[in-house]
Amino acid sequence: MTVTIKTPQEQDKMRVAGRLAADVLDMIGDYVKPGITTGELDSICHEFITTVQDATPAPLNYRGFPKSICTSVNHVVCHGIPGEKKLKSGDAVNIDITVIKDGYHGDTSRMFFVGKPSVQAQRLAEVAFEGMWRGIEELAPGKHLGDVGEAIQSFVEKQRFSVVREYCGHGIGRVFHEDPQVLHYGTRGSGIELREGMTLTVEPMINAGKRQVRLLNDGWTVVTKDHSLSAQWEHTVLITDTGYEVLTLGNSDR
């Protein structure tokens, strides 16, 4: 396993890429309304990333992925492919944006509600959000990746929701998915020790029902096996000398 340490110059490029990815999510929120298709959301983001940001949407053609963003609706856990599906009131959709700028990646996702969510969908999204932050708050030099996983898992399971095991966060930089794997479950003190200059994502997928997932025949779409709702949030984070810096904060968080 090779975990890359980013130089101060590379860290600056990661800051730029991270901000651009967050800007796309800030931009697309207003379009998430009943009747819009996930394919239309993809087109709007693609146009914004390539034209306004002069950046590259990392998912497009990544290992054969056919679109520029991921849209994961309701019981879709992750990697939903944008298409003809019209969003309707009550849907909960995760939009996951990864941009490449000046050779570096920024990766972030949020939950959006179409109209008014059910009590359960709202609660699930809140727990996924809080779980992500509990994980991020563990990040500092000398801490272990297992501390992150344990913080997320113990919080989420106390709320009687489950943590998906098959997909995880990751190192990120010039490469979209690099070492290490950032598990969203685990044991304190286990896993690699964190060092200043590492850049990682924290992106827990949380299910209302059982943790098991199934991959659809399209080779990408991951759904909950029991068809229960799933929620996810993601930030790209830099390990600093004293702790962490979140590189993908939105307009309202900075």
* 3-state class (DSSP) for residue 127: helix
> How many CA atoms lie less than 13 Å away from 4 in the CB half-sphere?
18
79 contact, one of ligand MF3, Co ion, none, CB 5-8 Å limit per kind: ligand MF3
Question: Can you read off the two tokens belonging to residue 138?
Answer: 């563990």
Q: Establish if 178 lies at the interface with Co ion (CB under 5 A).
A: no
* 3-state class (DSSP) for residue 19: helix
138 contact, one of ligand MF3, Co ion, none, CB 5-8 Å limit per kind: none
Q: Which amino acid is at 28?
A: I
Q: Establish if 70 lies at the interface with ligand MF3 (CB under 6 A).
A: yes
Residue 26: C-alpha distances to residues 30, 32, 156, 238, 251 (Å): 8, 11, 26, 21, 7
Q: Establish if 231 lies at the interface with ligand MF3 (CB under 6 A).
A: no
- Using the rule CB under 6 A, which residue among 10, 42, 91, 203 binds ligand MF3? 203
Q: Establish if 23 lies at the interface with ligand MF3 (CB under 6 A).
A: no
Question: What is the DSSP secondary structure assignment for residue 17, as one 8-state letter?
Answer: H
The span of 17-25, 55-63, 144-152, 242-250 binding ligand MF3 (CB under 6 A) equals 55-63
By C-alpha distance, which of 240, 144, 249 is closest to 199?
Answer: 240
Q: Establish if 96 lies at the interface with ligand MF3 (CB under 6 A).
A: yes
Site residues (CB under 5 A) for Co ion? 96, 107, 201, 234
Site residues (CB under 6 A) for ligand MF3? 59, 62-63, 65, 70, 79, 96, 98, 107, 201, 203, 220, 234
